[in-house]
Chain A
Amino acid sequence: MTIVGLTGDEAVAYAVKQSRVDIVAAYPITPQTIMVERFSKYVADGEVHTAYACVESEHSALSACIGASLTGARVFTATASQGLALMHEMLYIASGLRCPIVMGVANRALSAPINIHGDHSDMMGSRDSGWVQIYAENAQEAYDWTILAFKIAEDKDVQLPVSVNLDGFIISHSMEGVDVLADETVNRFLRLRKPLLTIDLEKPVTVGALCLPDYYFEFKRQQAEAMQNTRGVLDKACREYRGVSGRSYSALETFEMEDAQAAIICLGSTAGTARQVARKLRAQGKKVGVVKLWLYRPFPTEEIRAAAKNVEALAVFDRAVSFGAPYGALCSDVVSALHTVEESPKIFNVIYGLGGRDIQPSDIELVFNEVLKTAQTGIVKEPTMFLGVRE
């Protein structure tokens, strides 16, 4: 066991280094991302064989990554916030051309007003772009999931880009003890990329052709299937990773859900605070639980159903607003997942933490009490609660 003090960003950079990435093309500016700065030092010190292209925009960063990925290379980039928004067009092309790029995203708020602090608006705005989306709770998870992400993305049944999301500042800039694997262990777990199809020079291929109404739909159907294939591939990769690291991952993590009457579902760092509060309430005899999703796309519908089997009420936490929608993105998905279940729990949505607004244990306790009340009365007081905002 080797414990190293790393921020979330540094943990990702370290995992990328161990993953023997061929090329990192990035524009770590809008806002700045330490992942790339740390990685460029590895390049400068000759610790990696990686080509590092520090390009002139996030749009070009992902464009370069797509070109690189098509050669069969292992590719990484990182971004956040406005940078991810600028990449938007390329996100769809990366997934449509089946490029297994891994991207670290330090989730931050979108302008306007300009903010730079953490929330999930950036990636939620890209949720239908065909990227596998993973959310880490802390630096350790960011490290582990980065290594796992390459394994999943490059699997022959997946061939899709994967984003590893970490809460901006809360995880990206906070130093934690991270248990890192030995290089040889990572090498054994994550072999060099074996691409299915590359821009071959012996047998020329045309990539990115014009597909009219007679073929386009079939491509998208295959892409949807590849996204679903991710589930089995992810579970298998996680089992294997447990063997080499001793750490267990899957699509989601539950806490005290077996007999919980009331529960919170959330992504990322908030889960840690929620568990802490749940422990306290359990000690008071309150039957509460927490579900943390590691995997947001593809959505772990079956696992959510299983986790929510016994609960009477649920609060779903969204760190982004889906303006004009019935609920925030995560809540809409949870409601969809549970609508066919007999005696679906009562559900309400909690919008919180926008623009880096801190979420305190007292905030979460307030929500837990509201969920418990909903469980007892069977009545949802308000479908969407804006938590911690001045009204």
Chain B
Amino acid sequence: MVTLKELSTEELFASGHRLCAGCGEGIINRMTMKALRGPTIIVAATGCSEVATTIYPYTSWRVSWVHVAFENAAAVASGIVEAYKAMAKRGAWNKKVDVIAMAGDGGTYDIGIQALSGALERGHDFLYICYDNEAYMNTGIQRSGATPHAADTTTSPAGSVIPGKPEWKKDLIGICAAHGIEYAATASPAYWSDFIMKVRKGIEVNGPAVIDVLSPCPLGWRHDSARSIELVRLAVETRYFPIYEFERGKYKLNFTVPKPKPVEEFLKAQGRFSHLFKPTYRKDVIDEIQRNVDANWNRIQKLCAQT
């Protein structure tokens, strides 16, 4: 764990960007910058962070930052990592460069999963951070492979017959771990020290590393923007979003949450689940979500015990 006093006071992610109040991405960007160890290049996928922090001719980034497209942050990062290697070989370069790709859950779980899988398989030395706000928020809240069951989005609307997204969230960490990479983890910005340590660990790993960080979105989750951090803490306290690591083949829960709160507390704080409470209280759906939360927790616990 890192203490506040140990953190650099240098702000490599400048204020004045145009992200919403209470947006998790600005917080995640700033914390990520606090974890750097040297020369770093950020590769951004298209998304809120990209459009709100680099409106030409302004930029919030005091490190070199590259955006190419939506689905290819991992591929662009691959090219950058390999290019520096080759230039070092011919003597044109002699520094270690850290490369961090940052993409939303749409750009990671869905349209970017192929590029990510390819890059993990090839083993390029880079860190991939997924801002997981559980839907395509930049384009107006469409469902993604990371959107939780029953969430109301513009493409999985809560109707009178179907109560929001019928499917369940993809297991990104499982997919990444299956590539045999050295490090993958989940994080919540509510636990800043844990997140910053994980970013640093991901940078230091020799090879690809992935962090899926829960990113509150007041617009898409429809919650009070002043409660963003409280909400992503509640996500952990309800075991809705377990914080764990996969390191060199071993799983470890970073927060064991001995007395979990009911997931209902997390759900009812957000407009995207409001149809489960009004006009009718959908105990059946809430119970189903609770059962899924419990099952997922048990699954991770088992993985921790087995490895």
Query: Least Cβ distance of B101 to chain A in Å?
Result: 10
A63 close to B39 (CB less than 8 A): no
Q: Are A63 and B50 in contact, CB atoms less than 8 angstroms apart? A: no
Count how many chain A residues have C-beta atoms less than 8 Å from C-beta atoms of the other chain. Answer: 45
The contact of B68 among A22, A63, A71, by CB within 8 Å, is A63
Q: For the complex formed, measure the closest distance between the CB of B141 and the CB atoms of chain A, giving whole angstroms.
A: 20
Greatest chain A CB density within 10 A among B54, B66, B84, B124 is at B66
CB interface residues, B 38-64, toward A, < 8 Å: 39-41, 43-44, 50-51, 54-57, 59, 61-64
Q: How far is the CA of A55 from the CA of B97 in the complex (A)?
A: 21
B115 at the interface (CB under 8 A from A): yes
Query: Which chain B residues (166-223) contact chain A, with CB distance < 8 Å?
Result: none
Encoded as 1 (CB less than 8 Å from any B CB) or 0, chain A from 49 to 66 comes to: 111011111011101111
Name which of B41, B56, B76, B86 has the most chain A CB atoms within 10 A of its CB: B86
Binds A, one of B24-32, B87-95, B260-268: B87-95
Are B72 and A56 in contact, CB atoms less than 8 angstroms apart? Answer: no
Asked if A22 and B87 sit within 8 Å, CB to CB, the answer is: yes
Complex partner residue of B41 from A61, A192, A199, A211, CB under 8 angstroms:
A199
B68 contact set on A, CB distance < 8 A = 63, 66-67, 90, 93, 97, 208
A207 lies within 8 A of B87 (CB): no
Complex interface: chain A residues within 8 A of B64 (CB): 199-201, 204-207
> Given the complex of chains A and B, what is the CA–CA distance between A25 and B41 in angstroms?
19
On whether the beta carbons of A23 and B82 are closer than 8 Å, the reply is yes
Inter-chain CA distance A57–B117, complex, in Å, is: 11
A192 to B78, CA, bound (A): 22
Least Cβ–Cβ distance between B70 and chain A, in angstroms: 9
- Taking a contact as CB atoms under 8 Å apart, the answer to whether A68 and B55 are in contact is no
In the assembled complex, how far is the CB of residue A344 from the closest CB belonging to chain B, in whole angstroms? Answer: 42
**Residues on the A chain within 8 Å of B71, using CB:** 59
Give bound CA distance, A64 to B81, whole Å. 9
- Taking the complex as formed, is A209 at the interface, i.e. its CB lies under 8 A from any CB of chain B? yes
B63 contacts A204, C-beta separation under 8 Å: yes
Contact B56 A51 (CB under 8 A): no
Partner of A67, one of B54, B61, B66: B66
Q: Which of A54, A56, A192 contacts B115 (CB 8 A)?
A: A56
The verdict on A67 contacting B79 (CB below 8 Å), with A199-B41, A199-B64 known, is yes
Contact A206 B54 (CB under 8 A): yes
Q: Does A266 contact B (CB under 8 A)?
A: no
Report whether B56 and A64 are in contact in the complex, using a CB–CB cutoff of 8 Å: no
Question: A67, B87: Cβ atoms under 8 Å?
Answer: no
For window 188-217 of chain A, which residues contact chain B by CB distance below 8 Å? 192, 199-201, 204-212, 215
| Chain A residues within 8 Å of B114, by CB | 56-57, 60
Contact B90 A210 (CB under 8 A): no
| Interface check B297, CB cutoff 8 A | no
B:66-124 near A, CB below 8 Å: 66-69, 71-72, 74-80, 82-87, 89-90, 92, 95, 97, 114-115, 117-119, 121-122, 124
Please indicate the chain A residues that have their CB under 8 angstroms from the CB of B59 in the complex: 206, 209
A 149-205 contacts with B by CB, 8 A: 192, 199-201, 204-205
Task: Report the minimal beta-carbon distance from B74 to chain A, rounded to whole angstroms.
Answer: 8
| A71–B77 alpha-carbon span in the complex (Å) | 11
Shortest CB distance A28–B (Å): 14
Find chain B residues with CB under 8 A from A93 CB. 68-69
Q: What residues of chain A lie closer than 8 Å to B69, measured between beta carbons?
A: 63, 89-90, 93
Q: For the complex formed, measure the closest distance between the CB of A43 and the CB atoms of chain B, giving whole angstroms.
A: 10
A70 close to chain B: CB less than 8 A = yes
Chain A residues whose C-beta falls within 8 Å of the C-beta of B56 in the assembled complex:
209-212, 215
Shortest A95–chain B CB gap in Å is 13
Complex contact B86–A201 (CB within 8 A):
no
The answer for the CA separation of A51 and B51 in the assembled complex, in Å, is 32
- List 22 A–B pairs whose Cβ atoms lie within 8 Å, in order of A's numbering: A23-B79, A25-B79, A49-B86, A53-B79, A60-B74, A63-B68, A63-B79, A64-B82, A67-B68, A67-B75, A68-B82, A72-B83, A73-B87, A75-B83, A97-B68, A199-B65, A204-B63, A204-B65, A206-B59, A206-B61, A207-B64, A209-B55
Chain A to chain B: the 3 pairs with minimum beta-carbon distance, closest first: A64-B79, A56-B118, A67-B79
